[in-house]
Amino acid sequence: MSKLKFIVLCLLCAATGLQAQTLVGDYEELPNPAVAPVGEWNKLSALAIGWGTTDMRYAKERPVARKNLSLKANLHGWKNETVSAQAVVSAPQGLKGLHAVCSDLSGKAGSIEARHIELFFARYVMTDELDKDGGGGCGNRQKADYDSSLVADPLCPLQSLNVEPQTTRTIWFSLHIPASTAAGTYRGTIELRDAAEATLGILSLQVEVANRMLPNPSEWAFHLDLWQNPYAVARYHGVEPFSQAHFSAMEPVMRRYAQAGGKVITASINHKPWNGQTQDPFESMITWLRRADGSWAFDYTTFDKWVEFMMRMGVTEQINCYSIIPWRLSFQYFDGASNSFKFLKAQPDSPEYREFWGRMLRDFAAHLKAKGWFEKTHIAIDERPMKAVLAALDVVKQADPDFKIAYAGHYHEELAMLIDDYCVTLLHDEFPTDVLAKRKAAGFISTYYTCCSEPRPNGFTFSPPAESEWLGWYAARENLDGYLRWALNSWTTAPFQDSRFRTWAAGDCYQLYPGQTSSIRFERLREGIQAYEKIRLLRQEFQQRNNQEGLAAINRLLEAFDRFGLDKTSAAEVVARAKKQLNNL
């Protein structure tokens, strides 16, 4: 039996502004506004330990009855897939040093070593709720106006954790099935112990490995675009932007994005493209300089460092540059004559705009071609009026007709065949079937996104975990190429403790936490992407074999992923049923 030991890499920021607190080890969660039901705890005379479900965010203050837990978990997966399970511990008297000891998983054809299991303790973060009308999570909000609660979401790779009396804790297990694993059944155990190495309980883990192979994440077709914010990392860790210390701090976050199949690098090419909507505004990665003699120069040093770093992390397919139409049509540049920053205010259809951006884009195109990045680069726009978009596109194509364009926003017929990477909203837009076919034939990317406006499905810290997985299945149903979310890591002031933000429902700003810490939402999102890939591969196989029955079965199971259906049937029910059906194909 081999014991998994993980060095603690959870980080806490309890400060504001540029002051950072990086604590290697444990951190204190905020006080729980919910009162523990003493009567229910009194009925629990001893520890309750067992497997729960990854569909639940177990309440910290509530006991989980033994009858609702299982001593055996049965997982199903393909070779090279990652599957997960969640163990639950309800401790009436509390305990010190809770930790897990994992055995190898053994089968007739070999074994899966315990080192392929990644363990996380689920920690608790403050969240809030949807808007009062239940119609979404957008708009300015005061914390006092919304009910707040502690919810399980950060998944921290702690070696052990102390459990307070009358507290429930969970341990998340992510098992990566090695590509070399032979098909078959593998069995092992998870032994939970305390600080004195006393056995608290032994849980069985069984994995059915199918004789099918999932490609490596770098080879997944799913177009995952989660916008990265390097400036949040610099502020949180208190390091100079784009210094070596900054890149070191960003590495675990961006590697986890790549390991989920992340395809797109988010690059800001002008000052505050989103008008500072996040705790840490995006600055320009390109220095725009007007010399004293009136000539112009553009410094791409930071842009190059950022792109090269992200490519080293494994995000290599696309670079999206924001934004030629920022939320405020005000463009910063450094004026050498006055030795100060100045701003140009111009509309996209104005001569001043055309001259300002045309000059830069021509220079930018030459730089990108010299770096070998031109074909990967998209000039990106989000949620701007169609008239402004058309005017901006004309400027881009005049600068270089081969520039690619990315747009996230409402569907417009006039833009359908002009946008290389077109992403529409989930609840308000869809691509007509014939248009989607034309876009695929042209080699264009067609995706969808969610943001604060969708009550469900969504990835708020209070959203049911299965809704994050639902997103990948829906893309498969609609024959879309993938999914976009506006924020991977635009952290709040203290992201581990409080996910609430001044403008949107809690958790909208980030899916990953600092350091090695994942989240329940992110792990379930990755599982949905894996499902998308499995469906894609099965469709290819069935089409090659003319297996019409198999194709029809896939279409039937995907019918349940109705974007308007989650008010009637939970994402957990829909996903669980679809997984079972998919495993039988």
Residue ranges of alpha helices (H) inside 337-482 are 351-371, 386-399, 433-441, 466-477
Domain CATH code at residue 558: 3.20.20
**3-state SS, residue 271:** coil
**3-state SS, residue 190:** strand
Q: Is 565 part of a structural domain of the chain?
A: yes
- Those residues with Cβ within 8 angstroms of residue 162's Cβ, 6 or more apart along the chain or in another chain: 94, 95, 96, 97, 98
Q: Is 425 part of a structural domain of the chain?
A: yes
Q: Is 569 part of a structural domain of the chain?
A: yes
**3-state SS, residue 209:** strand
| Residues of the chain below pLDDT 50 | 1-25
Q: Which residues pair with 88 in a beta bridge?
A: 50, 170
Helices (H) and strands (E) in the chain, counts: 11, 25
Altogether, the residues listed in the chain come to a count of 585
Torsion of CA 308, 310, 316, 318, to 10 degrees: -100
Residue ranges of alpha helices (H) inside 456-565 are 466-477, 520-544, 548-558
What is the pLDDT, as a whole number, of residue 327?
87
Q: Are 276 and 335 in contact (CB under 8 A)?
A: no
Give the pTM: 0.95
| Residue 510 DSSP one-character state | B
Amino acid at position 121, single letter: F
The structural domain count of the chain equals 1
Q: How many whole angstroms from its chain centre is CA 126? A: 19
Determine which helix (DSSP H) or strand (DSSP E) holds 233, and give its type and residue range: helix 230-237
Task: From 53, 7, 40, 300, select the one nearest 173 (Cα to Cα).
Answer: 53
pLDDT by residue (tens digit) across 450-485? 999 999 999 999 999 999 999 999 999 999 999 999
Backbone angles phi, psi at 180, to 5 degrees: -85, 0
Q: Which domain holds residue 464?
A: 222-249+259-286+298-328+348-488+518-583
What is the pLDDT, as a whole number, of residue 26?
63
Amino acid at position 296, single letter: W
Q: Is 132 part of a structural domain of the chain?
A: no
Task: From 347, 345, 341, 351, select the one nearest 331 (Cα to Cα).
Answer: 345
Q: Is 395 part of a structural domain of the chain?
A: yes
- How would you class 521 by CB atoms within 10 Å of its CB: exposed for 0-12, middle for 13-18, buried for 19 or more? buried
Q: Is 403 part of a structural domain of the chain?
A: yes
Q: How far apart are CA 459 and CA 450, in angstroms?
A: 9
What is the pLDDT, as a whole number, of residue 276?
85
Q: Which residues pair with 302 in a beta bridge?
A: none
Q: How far apart are CA 300 and CA 321, in angstroms?
A: 13
Q: How far apart are CA 509 and CA 490, in angstroms?
A: 5
Q: How many whole angstroms from its chain centre is CA 531? A: 16
Q: Is 150 part of a structural domain of the chain?
A: no
pLDDT by residue (tens digit) across 287-320? 999 999 999 999 999 999 999 999 999 999 999 9
Q: Is 532 part of a structural domain of the chain?
A: yes
